[in-house]
Structure 1
């Protein structure tokens, strides 16, 4: 694989600050019409920190708010409240076109569906060359073509001189997704938001994309926010794991610590849902009972309380916040105890 030179920014706002950080990040959507509109709480009071050259996985079931966070960080959505800080600078203060363009180049997004993220009317080089023209206008046409070939080879596609002139329908799903990473890499990014990039690919292809993320972190110094519902892939590639449920981060910490010693009952439920290849096919997953989360005008209290086998009275009235329970291991649970795993059982 062709190596990628490490990109450093001498204009970094605060070198000692995290690469990206959110504080009380919130996004609500108005739903319904008439005199009594309701609010869907997609993301509520989320604090996330991603450091340089770090892969952070954000895991949870569909509808938990994972993709909304990615779109907030990418600038697709505007926060309802809260703030995003990039290298110590508030993103809301980046009002000029130049600043906004620079931020979007530093924090690009790779989408879930490789079949719809590329325009079928253009060759696969179109998006890469367009990004280069937008974010590196000083390059000549020849230099843009050379750079496009370089980033295509950097994501494991060769020969680039042939592949870059094909149309999307001529590539496999895995190749298309690698082109998505090449488009992001053309920006010389600091953080790539990977929104379930392997969920629509065959199992045999997924490992190659996960290895690509690890290689780009090593060779190009890129950090990743890897959004997934697959705990196994998060364990394979991520340094830290964040568990999200109904718009809240309910647990976070080093990946192995979270998976080996889950503190929140929802994390335990996710781990219990991972099939054991040694178990008989007739064995059912236990512990998932109760109602789905209520995220439209939710009342105070833990949003997992209707499904939690360890619920106490406080869970119905007080919304738990993340608290430190170990070395970098946090959980938002009233009954979680330090240095003691929670293995929820069906009552």
Structure 2
């Protein structure tokens, strides 16, 4: 696969954040009994921003905290710590129903499962029209019909009238997922949170959905947080890539820079599992050994240390923070060296 070309001016416009997370954390109480004090640290002290007309991929294994971040940004979960800023305004200040509806219209989600995201009892048009009625009440009934047809055509489903009259079971998985994007697009969003939107689709139709994201970025001016465990698809569509492990962002930077010159051992491990001829040569990490991450009441130190063959004593006592190791390229690793891959 080849990377999607960034439209002229996108890099400049991306400098202004649509959304920004500062020291964002989300912990869940676990353990037996109501009075249990054990805490699962799903997300810990995460900071990042997403610019205008920018596609940012968040990649990592299952359980790394990716979907928790999406639900924090969507307002499904409240942060345990830190703050989310939307266009410079703290999300915690959105108290009124009007503010919350406006935000959820600006930052909708597209979910992983195209088969359960649509109500089988209603025609395809129902979800799109309902979104328009809720988030754009100024539209008349006829205007809602016209807008629904427009957004359905915008996601590549034609003729729109025929598609709108169908029931979900009459559509393929790829068509259903496009309807999910149409429902999000109906809000005139600023940022779409796409949580593993192609993982349940056949490989043959994934590329169409990834191209759709790039097209919507160009035509509708929308940004994306693309959550995935698939490094190859992240390389194909993303401007920037964030690698997440055990609640921490361990590496971030331009997608090509991170994948061509990984700084963190975990990124190298992910790349080693991808059958991609463009992936860099192995940096000496021969396999995945050691214990899974400890995220219930974790102790200080790198959470990857039990699986990392490059771990030193410092990794067991001090939690690494993101530091710059190249142009706009950061990694949270004690042994990583600037512009030289991962040090041995």
Q: Same fold (TM over 0.5)?
A: yes
Moved more, 96-105 or 176-185: 96-105
Confirm or deny: 8 A CA contact 2:21 2:46 kept in the other structure.
yes
> Is 1:316 equivalent to 2:316 in the alignment?
yes
Using the alignment, how far apart are the partners of 1:300 and 1:173 within structure 2?
44
Residue 33 of structure 1 is matched in structure 2 by: 32
Confirm or deny: 8 A CA contact 1:17 1:88 kept in the other structure.
no
Residue 334 of structure 1 is matched in structure 2 by: 334
Confirm or deny: 8 A CA contact 1:262 1:343 kept in the other structure.
no
Using the alignment, how far apart are the partners of 1:245 and 1:277 within structure 2?
24
Residue 304 of structure 2 is matched in structure 1 by: 304
How far did 1:17 drift?
Answer: 4.6
Residue 63 of structure 1 is matched in structure 2 by: 63
Using the alignment, how far apart are the partners of 2:79 and 2:120 within structure 1?
32
Residue 166 of structure 1 is matched in structure 2 by: 166
Using the alignment, how far apart are the partners of 1:48 and 1:184 within structure 2?
23
Alignment RMSD (CA, Å):
1.5
Using the alignment, how far apart are the partners of 2:302 and 2:276 within structure 1?
29
Residue 196 of structure 1 is matched in structure 2 by: 196
Residue 115 of structure 1 is matched in structure 2 by: 115
Using the alignment, how far apart are the partners of 2:333 and 2:181 within structure 1?
37
Confirm or deny: 8 A CA contact 1:288 1:307 kept in the other structure.
yes
2:43 partner SS: strand
Using the alignment, how far apart are the partners of 1:251 and 1:82 within structure 2?
20
Cα deviation, 1:143-195, whole Å, max 9, x if unaligned, reads 10110000000000000001011110000000000000000000000000000
User: Unpaired runs of 5+ in structure 1?
Assistant: 1-14, 279-284
Distance 1:174 1:92, change over 3 A: same
How far did 1:37 drift?
Answer: 3.3
How far did 1:274 drift?
Answer: 0.8
Residue 4 of structure 2 is matched in structure 1 by: none
Moved more, 104-113 or 136-145: 136-145
Residue 136 of structure 1 is matched in structure 2 by: 136
Cα deviation, 1:40-64, whole Å, max 9, x if unaligned, reads 1000000011000000000000000
Cα deviation, 1:189-231, whole Å, max 9, x if unaligned, reads 0000000000000000000000000000000000000000000
Distance 1:168 1:273, change over 3 A: same
2:333 partner SS: coil
Confirm or deny: 8 A CA contact 2:15 2:51 kept in the other structure.
no
How far did 1:276 drift?
Answer: 5.2
1:325 partner SS: strand
> Matches of residues 51-130 of structure 1 in structure 2 within 5 Å?
51-130=51-130
Using the alignment, how far apart are the partners of 2:51 and 2:142 within structure 1?
35
Using the alignment, how far apart are the partners of 2:206 and 2:323 within structure 1?
34
Using the alignment, how far apart are the partners of 2:37 and 2:125 within structure 1?
45
Using the alignment, how far apart are the partners of 1:36 and 1:71 within structure 2?
24
Using the alignment, how far apart are the partners of 1:343 and 1:120 within structure 2?
54
2:22 partner SS: strand
How far did 1:138 drift?
Answer: 1.1
User: Unpaired runs of 5+ in structure 2?
Assistant: 1-13, 279-284
> Is 1:243 equivalent to 2:238 in the alignment?
no
How far did 1:287 drift?
Answer: 2.0
Residue 3 of structure 2 is matched in structure 1 by: none
How far did 1:286 drift?
Answer: 3.1
TM-score by length of 1: 0.91
Confirm or deny: 8 A CA contact 1:42 1:246 kept in the other structure.
yes
Using the alignment, how far apart are the partners of 2:114 and 2:343 within structure 1?
37
Residue 231 of structure 2 is matched in structure 1 by: 231
Residue 18 of structure 2 is matched in structure 1 by: 19
